[in-house]
Amino acid sequence: MGKSNIAKWIEENQEKFTKMAKDIWDHPEVGYTEIYASTLQMKELEEAGFRVTSGIGDVQTSFVAEYGKGKPVIGILGEFDALPGLSQKVNPKQTPVIQNGPGHGCGHNLLGTAGVEAVIALKERMDAEMLPGTIRYYGCPAEEMLSGKTFMAREGVFDDLSCALTWHPGNNNMTSNFRSQALTAIEFFFSGRTSHAGGAPHLGRSALDAVELMNVGANYLREHVPDGSRIHYQITNGGMAPNIVPDNASVYYFLRGAGRDQVAELEERLNKVAQGAAMMTETSVRWEIKAGCYDTLPNETLNELMYTQAEVAGRMEFSSEEKKFAEELRETVDPSVLAAANEIIFSISDDTNKILETDFYHNRKHFGQTMGGSTDVGDVSWIVPMGQIMTTCAPLGIQFHTWQATASFGSTIGMKGMHYAAKIMALSAYELLKDQSGILERAKVEFDASTKGLTYKCGIPTRVKPPVLNSEAVPVMSN
């Protein structure tokens, strides 16, 4: 009975949340600048009776909204940041709203809004049944910069949770049973001595030479790192003109690996490469850690719960217009990319003719397998047991972080996937508030076994403060 009321409440109130997700999609803000989105969500939650605390750990756009009291404490994670350069209309041809402007190419307009929708639906049920326990929505900024949740975790805001639930917009309906990669993001700054490049090159000590030699060293290092590790870089400052020996230059590295230990070892070795490059060029080097997130630990107990609640929530359906839009979007992607994309995202349907996935799968097949990307959701999964799903918000074969994805996540396809995810999270949290079959305890036993007794240690040193950015001065970065 309680469950059908939750589903009914979401169906009756979904228009409000469609509007919120569209509003955030219409006002895309990159990481740490999400004033519009976080204000909008905080206002809605405050009006619904939640206690809201913002600015966690000096992250301006972070917040926690809480309702109820006592145990269990169930957290739902939300995000709302956009990506640079992915501005796009809901149109199957590349048509930016603003040339080179930001856009929601990862669907975080849906991600956060589904969480708000789920906790408000749940709150209605808690009131009606006088259920004990606490529910929280976490407004987490800058996921694309891989650090919003890490800064929040450093403040301990996830520590007292019984468990966390989250989701990500996807091309599939399924439990997220894979592991993401741990990551450290470091920028290296070299300083040398400027000089006239033609008139007095012998007096100069080029910081750019140091950057280039560091990159050569890093490329040799690649052969001798564990399989599956990733090293990528971008030169963030290469000097101003060829005829000026640059006294300052910088390079930004991402290091990825199967776990924090592996990444920490890569970091140590890369630091030696940087020092070697500085020595060769008679320059000096310093570095700053920008992000340090964990791999994601899947929790089979919680994912199983979410799978059973997806069955309760029912099956998705798409209209003929939505199918047509999906087909048109897919036509803009090379067939080889379409085919490969399904592999990358661990699609498990065997039906290659499918365009929009409506079945929900429990993805046991890929349990614990590592996928290429990274996310700060990983940090939360090392602090408390965490369940995670994906729902269909885009056609199969459409890759995230593309203009096609922005178009999907602003369309009714994205909105349907969002309401579906909200339902599954609300139903799962409702089940956990009652917890008649000891799910939380089993989830914790599994969590203890998979963390092998290792406790979470924040990957960003205490001296590193969260960035305070305005939308004009934002580094281009994404996961």
Q: State the minimum distance, in angstroms, from the CB of residue 168 to Zn ion.
A: 6
Instruction: Identify which of residues 205 and 256 has a Cβ nearer to Zn ion in the complex.
Output: 256
> Coil, strand or helix: which one is 54?
strand
Question: Residue 117 belongs to what H/E stretch?
Answer: helix 108-129
Burial class (CB in 10 A: 0-12, 13-18, 19+), 128: exposed
> Coil, strand or helix: which one is 291?
strand
Cβ proximity of 372 and 344 under 8 Å: yes
Instruction: Identify which of residues 106 and 427 has a Cβ nearer to Zn ion in the complex.
Output: 106
Q: What's the distance, CA 11 to chain centroid? A: 27
Instruction: Identify which of residues 74 and 106 has a Cβ nearer to Zn ion in the complex.
Output: 106
Q: State the minimum distance, in angstroms, from the CB of residue 108 to Zn ion.
A: 6
Helix axes 412-434, 108-129, angle to 10 degrees: 40
Q: State the Cα–Cα distance between residues 161 and 443, nearest whole angstrom.
A: 12
CB under 8 Å to 1, separation ≥6 — which residues? none
Cβ proximity of 374 and 366 under 8 Å: no
Q: State the minimum distance, in angstroms, from the CB of residue 104 to Zn ion.
A: 10
Instruction: Identify which of residues 145 and 316 has a Cβ nearer to Zn ion in the complex.
Output: 145
Instruction: Identify which of residues 218 and 405 has a Cβ nearer to Zn ion in the complex.
Output: 405
Q: State the minimum distance, in angstroms, from the CB of residue 117 to Zn ion.
A: 18
Q: State the minimum distance, in angstroms, from the CB of residue 141 to Zn ion.
A: 13
Cβ proximity of 263 and 182 under 8 Å: yes
Instruction: Identify which of residues 142 and 305 has a Cβ nearer to Zn ion in the complex.
Output: 142
Q: State the minimum distance, in angstroms, from the CB of residue 30 to Zn ion.
A: 13
Q: State the minimum distance, in angstroms, from the CB of residue 465 to Zn ion.
A: 24
Pick from 354, 39, 370, 3: nearest CA to 177: 370
Q: State the minimum distance, in angstroms, from the CB of residue 106 to Zn ion.
A: 3
> CA torsion angle for 176, 178, 182, 187 (degrees, to 10)?
-60
Q: Which residue has the closest beta carbon to Zn ion?
A: 106
CB under 8 Å to 443, separation ≥6 — which residues? 163, 299, 301, 302, 385, 387
Binding stretches for Zn ion (CB under 5 A):
106
Q: State the minimum distance, in angstroms, from the CB of residue 169 to Zn ion.
A: 8
First to last CA, the chain: 41
Instruction: Identify which of residues 281 and 375 has a Cβ nearer to Zn ion in the complex.
Output: 375
The Cα-based distances of 377 to 133, 147, 301, 374, 447 in angstroms read 23, 9, 18, 9, 15
Instruction: Identify which of residues 309 and 375 has a Cβ nearer to Zn ion in the complex.
Output: 375
Instruction: Identify which of residues 66 and 295 has a Cβ nearer to Zn ion in the complex.
Output: 295
Cβ proximity of 260 and 291 under 8 Å: no
Instruction: Identify which of residues 106 and 270 has a Cβ nearer to Zn ion in the complex.
Output: 106
Q: State the Cα–Cα distance between residues 234 and 269, nearest whole angstrom.
A: 18
Q: State the minimum distance, in angstroms, from the CB of residue 277 to Zn ion.
A: 34
